[in-house]
Amino acid sequence: MSAAVSVVIVNLNRRDLLGRCLESLWKQTFSGFEVIVVDNASSDGSLEFLQSIRQPRLQIVVLPSNKGFAGGCNAGIARAEGRYIATLNNDAEAEPRWLEELVEGVESNPGVGMCASKILFRDDRNRIDKAGHLIYPDGLNHGRGSGEPDRGQFERREEVLFPDAAAALYRREMFDVIGLFDEHFFAYGDDADVGLRGRLAGWTCLYIPTAVVYHVHSATAGEFSPLKAFLIERNRIWVAVKTFPLSLLLASPVFTLIRFAYHAYGSLFLVGSSGQYAAECSRTRLAVMILKAYWSGLKLFPEMWRSRRKIRRFARLSDRDFTNLIRKHRITLRALTLGT
């Protein structure tokens, strides 16, 4: 009998965290699942560790080179048998009822294509990492409630824009319509792209507060690394080009300029995420990485525009409805840049 859920974990040189992630899955109360670990050419003994595990639920996919999170997920989904695809980061640990709660949520309504988990910081379990996602009108997304103390403000099952793929559940039927993760993204923003394509196709996303995961934030790339800044800024351009209505896409550079003004203030006075980036690496290096992000993003503009045309073929939301969706789940500029 095939599994109802295929849990896909992408791993790169995190043998130290992977064991705890897998142990949390073997304790799940939901029984109908398989686990597919995709190894992105690790060199830290991860593969040898995986091969030593005697667990019939486990499958291992070995990639010859690092294909990023998006490529790794796609390789896992290609092997998966489940009618639902769960993605779980290798630096995350799931509560025992995680899968059971997500499956109950997705099966509560046939229009639900995605479910978002309540993600808390592993080393500060009273602080929220993400409870679904919000978005700024230039395509930059941000975790809902990110960094806030968990005071019970996100205890209601409700619609959110899209889930964070660090701990999410997707209906395979949705992937069959919209396609898989875009491997051009490599990492960061790829879940926003999938989520917004799913929303355009008419699926909704349900946040499940009882599906709890503990996450070591940015364990692979680093919390405030220039590489992360490069990928986030480049990929948000592609998200906007591929999914935004033309009117919002044309307006997005104005929103970006305003955002950069706030970032400059935060960097100068060491406030918010901009200030943390400035403290971790030089402002000059960060500026160079952002310029490289724009150059890289624009080079693939024709490819993204072709993807946009394909997406329009399965779109069910009107431009007005999609714009209203962005407004409904918009993050404020101060919260995005200054953390206030």
CA distances from 198 to 162, 177, 205 (A): 9, 9, 9
Residues 194 and 234 reside in one and the same domain: no
In three-state secondary structure terms, 117 is strand
pLDDT at 263: 85
Residues 115-153, buried b or exposed e (16+ Cβ, 10 A)? bbbbbbbbeeeeebbbbbbbbbbbbbbbbbbbeeebeee
From 158, 192, 215, the end of a domain falls on 215
Give ∠ CA 134-136-138 in degrees, rounded to 5.
Answer: 140
Residues 283 and 315 reside in one and the same domain: yes
Residue 60 identity? I
Residues 240 and 211 reside in one and the same domain: no
Q: Full-prediction pTM beyond 0.75?
A: yes
pLDDT at 272: 65
Residues 180 and 247 reside in one and the same domain: no
The CATH number of whichever domain residue 177 belongs to comes to 3.90.550.10
Residues 185 and 240 reside in one and the same domain: no
Evaluate whether residue 172 is within a structural domain: yes
Residues 152 and 15 reside in one and the same domain: yes
- Asked whether the beta carbons of 334 and 326 are under 8 A apart, the reply is no
Residues 206 and 86 reside in one and the same domain: yes
For residue 86, what are the β-bridge partners? Answer: 7, 169
- The whole-angstrom separation of Cα 143 and Cα 138 is 15
**Main-chain phi, psi angles of 312, to 5 degrees:** -60, -20
Print the domain residue range for 181: 5-215
Residues 68 and 188 reside in one and the same domain: yes
Full pLDDT tens readout for the chain, 340 residues = 579 999 999 999 999 999 999 999 999 999 999 999 999 999 999 999 999 999 999 999 999 999 999 999 999 999 999 999 999 999 999 999 999 999 999 999 999 999 999 999 999 999 999 999 999 999 999 999 999 999 999 999 999 999 999 999 999 999 999 999 999 999 999 999 999 999 999 999 999 999 999 999 655 555 557 888 899 999 999 999 999 999 999 999 999 999 999 888 887 766 766 666 666 666 677 788 889 999 999 999 999 999 999 999 999 999 999 999 999 999 999 999 887 6
Residues 182 and 50 reside in one and the same domain: yes
How many structural domains is the chain composed of?
2
Evaluate whether residue 138 is within a structural domain: yes
Residues 94 and 240 reside in one and the same domain: no
Residues 49 and 198 reside in one and the same domain: yes
Evaluate whether residue 221 is within a structural domain: no
Residues 193 and 289 reside in one and the same domain: no
